[in-house]
Every structure is written in C-alpha cells, then in structure tokens.
Amino acid sequence: MSIEVENLTYIYNPGSPFETKALEDVNVEIKSGEFVGLIGHTGSGKSTLVQHLNGLIKPTSGKIVVNGIDITDKTVKLSDIRRKVGLVFQYPEHQLFEETVYKDIAFGPQNLGLTETEIDERVREAMELVKLPFDELKDRSPFELSGGQKRRVAIAGVFAMKPEVLVLDEPTSGLDPRTRDEVLEEIKTLHDRYKNTVILVSHSMEDVAKLVERIIVMHNGKIIFQGTPRDVFKEVETLESIGLGVPQISYLIRALREKGINLKDDIFTVEEAKKEILKWIRSRKNV
Amino acid sequence: MFKDITIGQYYPTGSYVHELDPRTKILVTFALIAGLFIINTFVPYTYIVAFILGVVFISRIPLNFVLKGLKPLRVIIIFTFLINIFAGQGEAIWRIGPLSVTGEGIYKALFMAIRLILLVVGTSLLTLTTSPISLTDGIERLLNPLRKIGVPAHELAMMMTIALRFIPTLLEETDKIMKAQMARGADFESGNIISRAKGLVPLLVPLFISAFRRADELAMAMEARCYRGGEGRTKMKELKMDGRDTMALVTTALLLVVLIVHRTMV
Ligand SMILES: Nc1ncnc2c1ncn2[C@@H]1O[C@H](COP(=O)(O)OP(=O)(O)OP(=O)(O)O)[C@@H](O)[C@H]1O
Ligand SMILES: [Mg+2]
C-alpha cells in the first residue's frame, strides 16, 4: 500500500490567537512495503503529519492519497482507511481501558468485525510478536503491568489489526534502553514477516539508523530532506543546526578519520563500525 | 470538535478591558446579569446591546469570535424559543396540531431568546478578557469578607483555579484518546443511543484514569512545595483598583440606573 502526500498544509486553531502552522506544503511519497523513518526535533510536526495518514486530522489544504484513493474526499469512508493504516500513538499505554489484556488487544480486531476464532488467533499472534507470555498475562488487568509491558500491550492492540501500513509515533520514548531495543526489534520482525509498510517516527538517530531503509527529516513543519540513512547522515552540519545530529558512532568514526585513520565516512551503526575498525587493525598488522 | 467552545477561554489582546481589575469585571458582569433580569420590554435591550458592543470594541476581540461562543448553545436557545412561542395565552395566529402560536408567545419567545443570547455573550466576555488566574484571584478577594461566616474563600478559589487550569488539558486529552481509539476502529458517531453510550467506555476509562493520575501528581507537587492552604499566604501580585476601574464601575452603575428607571416608568 502506497501513500502520497501532496502539498499538505495544516494549521491548528485557525483564526484564533493560538493559530499555529504545524505543516507547510509537505510533499512525500511512501512506497508499498517500505520501512521509513520520520525524524525531526520536538514540535517539527511529525505527529501532526502521521495523524493525517489515516484521516484523523483533515488537512487545511492539500491531498493525501492512499493506494490511489484521495482520503480527503468526503465520500471516502474513513473507517475503511483506518483498518488499512494502523497508528500507534505517542504514549499509547494511555489508551488502555479494558479489564484484561486479552480484551484490550481484541478491541481493534473486534471493531473490524472478525469472528471469535479469528480474534483469538490475532491476539495470540500479536502477543507473541511483542513477546508477552499469553497464558500468564491474558487475564491480568493492563493497569497492573509495568510501563514497558503496558506499552507492549498497546502496541499489540494495533498489531492485531494487521494494518497494511503501520505508523508508530515514537514507540520507544520513555522506555529503558533494553526494552527500547526489544520493541524496535519486534517492529522489525513484524515488517519482515508481513512485508507491510512501516513508518517509524522518532527523534533518536540510533533507532532509525539500524532499522529503516529511508529517512525523512522534518523541521518547522517542512520536509527538509530525505534519503537513505547513508545519504542523510552525511549532512552532519544541517542535522546539527536543526537540533538532531547523527548517531554517536558516526562522531567516533569522524574523530578517527580526523586522526588520519582510513575508514569509510558513511558508518552509522555500531556493528558496522566494529567490522570496519577490525578490518583496519588487521590491515595494519599485515604491514 | 471542541473548537467551538469559547466559554471559559481567554483571548489576550492587552486592551483596556483586559487590564481592569478582575473584581471590577466580575461586578460589572453581575450587574449586567441583574440588568437583563430587571428589564421587561425590548427597548432597554438596545442599551445593553450597545454596552456589550462597546466593551467588545474596546477589548479588541473580534466580534465574530465572541459570537462563536453561542454556537454550542444554539440548541438550548432554539429550544427556549420554541417552548416560549407555544406557551403564550390569547388568540392563536397559527395552529400546528394541538399547539398554537399567539402574539404573546412570539413576543415572549423573542424576549427570552435575546435574554439568553445576551447572558451568554455578556458572561463570556468576562472570561475572554480575564485570565483564569486573575479571575479566581478576584473571586477570592470578593469572597474574603465571607470568611468570617465560614466560607472557605481561598480553598474555593484554589479549586476553581485548578479546575479552570485543567479544562484545556482534559479537552486535549479527550481529543487524543478519542483519536487513538478511532485509530483502533472505535466509532463515536453512529449507532443508537445505547451503542453510543457503550462506545464511550474506551474514551471515559482512560480519561478518568489520567484525570486521577494528574490530580494525584498535582497534590504531590503542591505538597512538595509546602502548600498548606490560604492561611498566611501572601500574593505576588496584589490586586489594585485605580481610576479606570472606577470609570468602568460608574458607567455600569449608570446603565443599571437607566434600566431600573425604565422599568419603573413603563
Ligand atoms: N492539539 C494542538 N493544538 C494546537 N497546536 C498543536 C496541537 N498539537 C500540536 N500543535 C503544534 O503543532 C506543532 C507540531 O506539533 P507536533 O505534535 O506535530 O510535533 P512533533 O514533531 O510530533 O513533536 P514531538 O517530538 O514533541 O512529539 C507544534 O508547534 C505544536 O505546538
Ligand atoms: Mg509527536
């Protein structure tokens, strides 16, 4: 499922003293099956943009075309769009409401009108994906769980709807490093398993560097550039000027290069850096 | 969906009206409400309308923004109008089934509808021109004399401040949770009353939980900063009335006198 955003502008509270232009003439295209990262500083308009993608916000002007259908058209049934484009909100654990974990995760599939057996299957699968033990947790109240577990339940609630496009708005904010890595890994597993389109909103370069195929950078309601992590992370100065920077490991590589050590200039994951540095050490031994 | 609610909203422009002492504005508003109930004919409405328009003009708030506050109340206003139009005595002008519209009915219906509209507009001007903090400050000071008879003026004012402070937060939260549940396929708009009421559960439960959590956190934060109620508490900004307040109060008093005189003469 592809998404095209054309000349999208959005203004909060138009005509009042609190008017804010959150998005300005945004143009972006996301292809079917792509895994993209949307990054930007606080207030750059990321959340506003992603809420347009399933029609939760109506644009002030511009178009959003999902799979060839312009969803800003009044005749389009938004419920159809919403079952195809799943959105995990920032701090999704605040939306939990059911008595049990099972029922909460089943809420989405139920609204899709699935049968009991299908729902059961989906809940099991979603819990397995986010690594929540089904038998142990299914009858627990979601409010008794730890913060990380709550987050997983909330994410599972959207996974269970099996959206063709999955949008996650800062799914790892406020989590400890280990849970963060696990959650990201789970998202990656889902993407690999179903080949669905995933849009990951984040302001952590580390997070997106490891996972995504393409990065879209937002600043002050505009998309300032996009490309593969390799291309984007070359723009260190621009990224720093908008308060973002590049992954920590890239700084190390840069410092090493300045010392005259011959390494590639487009390394941005720890694994890759390890490989390259080892290669360099070995090449020196041989001399 | 909450965009239309302007009641209780503050619209800062820094005008003369905004800078008045909140006590002045509260008193003026009460005088205006009293005025609306004193009059019994249409003519004095023109004075009140002129007064309100004057205030709107001086406050530099766009008139259509003020009138937007009527939108969420249109049902009530129309309802009042309809009840009154059928409740009049005397000779019927029209008949619709068992209901009849009389001259008196039309007169009363218009009268009540205008009263309601002016009531809403007049009181919303108070909140539009006064920040919630200074509003409750004013209320606290006005209630202060009643402390002697056991009215907890400070506590009431503090409760109001907090309530007003959290209205936008709760609206925002409602909006967010609603969107989150809509993204999971929840439907808040269609169906009959029962299914709609059921549909509210996914909204209300998280909303209550977050409201309680916020209340808890706030209480904790206040205690951590040694809040102990109003006893011996001093203010950073003491309220002071000056010549401008006197002018506003005198103008209002004049309006009230004119209205009373009008009533006794007719
Ligand atoms: N409900 C709202 N009402 C008014 N203004 C809003 C609202 N939500 C966001 N804004 C404004 O719109 C702009 C973009 O906000 P948005 O939430 O899209 O940013 P973001 O990139 O998601 O930031 P963050 O990283 O903090 O989540 C900000 O200036 C913000 O103040
Ligand atoms: Mg955001």
Give the domain range for residue A171: 1-76+164-232
Closest partner residue to A111 (CB to CB) among B13, B185, B209 is: B185
**Co-location of A67 and A179 in the same domain:** yes
Residues 153-192 of B with CB under 8 A from A: 176-177, 179-187
Out of A11, A12, A19, mutate this one to test ligand 1's pocket (max ligand atoms within 8 Å of CB): namely A12
- The angle formed by the CA atoms of residues A222, A224 and A226, to the nearest 5 degrees, is 120
**Co-location of A70 and A176 in the same domain:** yes
B216-228 pLDDT per residue, tens: 999 999 999 988 8
Q: In the structure encoding, which two tokens stand for residue B157, read together?
A: 């004012």
Q: Please say whether the beta carbons of A142 and A101 come within 8 A.
A: yes
Mean pLDDT of B202-213: 92
* Interface probe, candidates A79, A80, A94, A169, chain B, greatest B C-beta count within 10 A: A94
Q: Does A20 touch chain B (CB under 8 A)?
A: no
Q: How far is the CA of A278 from the centre of ligand 1 (A)?
A: 44
Cα distance between residue A219 and residue A235, in whole Å? 14
Q: Which ipTM was obtained for this model? A: 0.85
Closest partner residue to A54 (CB to CB) among B176, B183, B201 is: B183
CA-nearest of A160, A170, A32, A146 to A88 is A170
Chain A CB contacts of B209 under 8 Å are: 143
Please report, for the domain that includes residue A4, its CATH number.
Answer: 3.40.50.300
B103-139 pLDDT per residue, tens: 888 888 999 999 999 999 999 999 899 988 888 889 8
Burial class (CB in 10 A: 0-12, 13-18, 19+), A73: exposed
Considering only CA atoms, which residue is closest to atom 17 of ligand 1?
A: A47
Q: Please say whether the beta carbons of A14 and A60 come within 8 A.
A: yes
CA-nearest of A158, A75, A80 to A122 is A158
Q: How far is B11 from chain A (nearest CA, A)?
A: 7
CA-nearest of A101, A54, A98, A88 to A172 is A88
- At A161, the amino acid letter reads M
* Domain ranges, ordered by start, for chain B: 1-130+237-266, 155-233
Is residue A42 situated within a structural domain?
yes
- The whole-model pTM stands at 0.77
Considering only CA atoms, which residue is closest to atom 2 of ligand 1?
A: A12
CA-nearest of B55, B67, B65 to B28 is B55
Q: Is A59 helix (H, G, I), strand (E, B) or coil?
A: coil
CA-nearest of A104, A91, A83 to A161 is A83
Confidence check: pLDDT of A261 > 80 = yes
Cα distance between residue B170 and residue B115, in whole Å? 31
Is residue A282 situated within a structural domain?
yes
Confidence check: pLDDT of B58 > 90 = yes
Q: Does A94 touch chain B (CB under 8 A)?
A: yes
Mean pLDDT of B180-185: 91
Q: Please say whether the beta carbons of B228 and B154 come within 8 A.
A: no
Cα distance between residue B8 and residue B183, in whole Å? 30
Quote the pLDDT of residue B2.
Answer: 53
Is residue A175 situated within a structural domain?
yes
Residues 82-101 of B with CB under 8 A from A: none
Starting from the CA of residue A42, give the closest ligand: 1
Domain count, chain A: 2
